Amino acid sequence: VLHSPLSRLDPTVLEVLRLGAYQLLAMRSVPAYAAVSQAVEQAREAAGDGAAALVNAVLRNLRAAGDGPARFPDAAADPLGFLETWGSHPRWLLERWLARWPLDEVRALVEANNRRPETYLVPLEVEPAEAIRILAAAGLEAEAVGEGTACVRLAEGVSPRDALAVLPRAIVQDPAAHLVTRYADVPEGTKVADLCAAPGGKALPVAHRSAYTLAADRSATRLRMLRDNARRTGRFLGLVVADALRPPLRGVDVVLLDVPCTGTGTLQRRPDARWRLRPAALEALVRVQGRMLDAAAELLPPGGLLVYSTCSLEPEENEIQLEAFLARHAEFSVEPTGAVPGQYLDAFGRLLVLPQRTGFDGAFAARLRRAA
C-alpha cells in the first residue's frame, strides 16, 4: 500500500510500519486503533510529522485491506508475483522450482513452507505406540505419524523438553530426516563413520545397530550437542572434530555423508533462511559436496556403503551431484533398499521426500555401493 519503494523509506519508519502491520494483521491481542495510534506516535518521535502522517495512512489502508491477499498481485493474473509477495519467497527460488514442477505444486510448496512446523519425536528403543503411551501417562499428547516413518507427532503446546524428560531415549527430528536413516539401512554389526554428524540425527539411531559408530564433524560446538544427545539417549559413539574433506580414518564399512547444503527442504523451520540464501551459496556448496563425496569414496573398501544425503530440494545438490559422482567413480552404483515405503523412492531407488507432497521437510539420499 506504499506508493514508493521500501528502499526509499527511513529505516526507523520502516521498522515502525512493520511492527504496526504485525500488530494489525497477526497479533490479535492488540486493538487496531491502539496499534495504529502507537505506531503513529513512534513515527512522529523518530522522524517528524510527515512520517507520522505516512504511517497513519499506510496502516489505515492496510487495516481496510484486511489480512487476506487483497492488496497483493492477483494469483491468477500474476502467479509469480503472488507467490513472491503474498507467499514471501525470493523470485529466483520460485523460478527454479517452476522450471521443475507445475504451478499448483510450487504453490503447495510455498504454502507448506509458510505453515507452522510440527514437532516430532523419534523413539529409539520403543515402538511409536509405546512412546505415545509413555507420553500420555505423563499427560503429554502425541499421535503416530505412520507411513513408515516411525515418528510420533507432539500435540500443539506439548514442549519437546517435557517429552524428552519422560522419553529420554528419543530424538527430536522431522520424519524426512529420519527417513534418511531408515533408507540408509545400515547393516547390523558394521563399522560406521558419519563425517558430518552433529548434532547426531543420523549417527545416534545408527549407533544402535552398528558395531561401532564414529561421529565426526568440523564444528566442536555442534559435536558437544551430539555428545549431550548421546548421553541422554544412552548411545556409545566415538567423537572426533575432523574435516570431511580430509577424514583421518581407515577401515570402515559404511560412510554417512549428510552434507552441508542450502537446506531448501527445511524452509518451514527456518523462516528467514529463504531471504538469506543466494545463488552463489548454492554453487559454493555444490563444489564442497562434490569434494566431500570424493574424499568419502576414498575411505571405503570394495563392498563398502556410502550414503549421501541432503535436506535440499535443488537438483544440483541431489540428482545432478550424484550423477557427476557416478561418472567420476565407476566403482560405485546406487543400491536400492526396501527399508522405506516405495512412495519415498524415485525411479532410481533414491530417497526423495518433498514437503509439498508429504507435509514433512524435504530430503534426498542415495545408497552407493562400492563394487566388491
Ligand X SMILES: C[S@@+](CC[C@H](N)C(=O)[O-])C[C@H]1O[C@@H](n2cnc3c(N)ncnc32)[C@H](O)[C@@H]1O
Residues 367, 336 contacting (CB under 8 angstroms): yes
Residue with smaller CB distance to ligand X, 27 or 245: 245
Q: Residue holding cell 487483497? A: 70
Site string for ligand X, 99-118 (x = CB under 6 A): --------------------
Stretch of residues binding ligand X (CB under 6 A), selected from 106-114, 134-142, 215-223, 334-342: 215-223
Residue with smaller CB distance to ligand X, 244 or 353: 244
Contacts of 171 (CB under 8 A, 6+ apart): 121, 122, 124, 200, 201, 204, 205, 229, 233
Give the closest residue to 112 by CA, choosing from 314, 360, 363, 364: 360
3-state secondary structure of 267: coil
In the chain, what are the helix, strand and coil shares in percent, each to the nearest 5?
Answer: 45, 15, 40
In this structure, the strands spanning 191-194 and 212-217 are parallel
20 binds ligand X (CB under 6 A): no
Stretch of residues binding ligand X (CB under 6 A), selected from 28-36, 75-83, 128-136, 237-245: 237-245
Give the closest residue to 360 by CA, choosing from 341, 338, 335: 341
Cell numbers found for residue 100? 521443475
CB of 246 to ligand X, least distance (A): 9
Q: Site for ligand X (CB under 6 A): which residue of 47, 186, 196, 230?
A: 196
Q: Site for ligand X (CB under 6 A): which residue of 43, 109, 197, 293?
A: 197
Q: Site for ligand X (CB under 6 A): which residue of 152, 244, 305, 354?
A: 244
Distance, in Å, from the CA atom of 136 to the CA atom of 339, rounded to the nearest integer, reads 29
Stretch of residues binding ligand X (CB under 6 A), selected from 5-13, 194-202, 312-320, 361-369: 194-202
87 binds ligand X (CB under 6 A): no
Region 251-290 residues binding ligand X, contact defined as CB under 6 A: 258, 260
Residue nearest to ligand X (CB): 201
198 binds ligand X (CB under 6 A): yes
217 binds ligand X (CB under 6 A): yes
Please indicate whether residue 196 is annotated as part of the active site.
no
In this structure, the strands spanning 254-258 and 305-310 are parallel
Residue with smaller CB distance to ligand X, 39 or 363: 363
State how far Cα 277 lies from the chain centre. Answer: 13
Burial class (CB in 10 A: 0-12, 13-18, 19+), 39: buried
Stretch of residues binding ligand X (CB under 6 A), selected from 67-75, 120-128, 193-201, 320-328: 193-201
74 binds ligand X (CB under 6 A): no
CB of 258 to ligand X, least distance (A): 3
Cell numbers found for residue 199? 548434532
Distance, in Å, from the CA atom of 338 to the CA atom of 344, rounded to the nearest integer, reads 11
Stretch of residues binding ligand X (CB under 6 A), selected from 6-14, 87-95, 241-249, 265-273: 241-249
CB of 199 to ligand X, least distance (A): 5
CB of 272 to ligand X, least distance (A): 18
Torsion angle defined by CA atoms of residues 118, 124, 127 and 133, in that order, rounded to the nearest 10 degrees: -70
**R_g of the chain, CA atoms, integer Å:** 24
Containing H/E element for 129? helix 128-137
The site that binds ligand X (CB under 6 A) totals a number of residues, namely: 18
CB of 323 to ligand X, least distance (A): 21
Burial class (CB in 10 A: 0-12, 13-18, 19+), 131: buried
CB of 23 to ligand X, least distance (A): 36
CB of 238 to ligand X, least distance (A): 15
175 binds ligand X (CB under 6 A): no
Q: Site for ligand X (CB under 6 A): which residue of 37, 85, 114, 219?
A: 219
Q: How many CA atoms lie within 13 A of 225 on its CB side?
A: 13
Q: Could you list the residues that contact ligand X (CB under 6 A)?
A: 177, 195-202, 217-219, 222, 243-245, 258, 260
Q: Which residues are catalytic?
A: 311
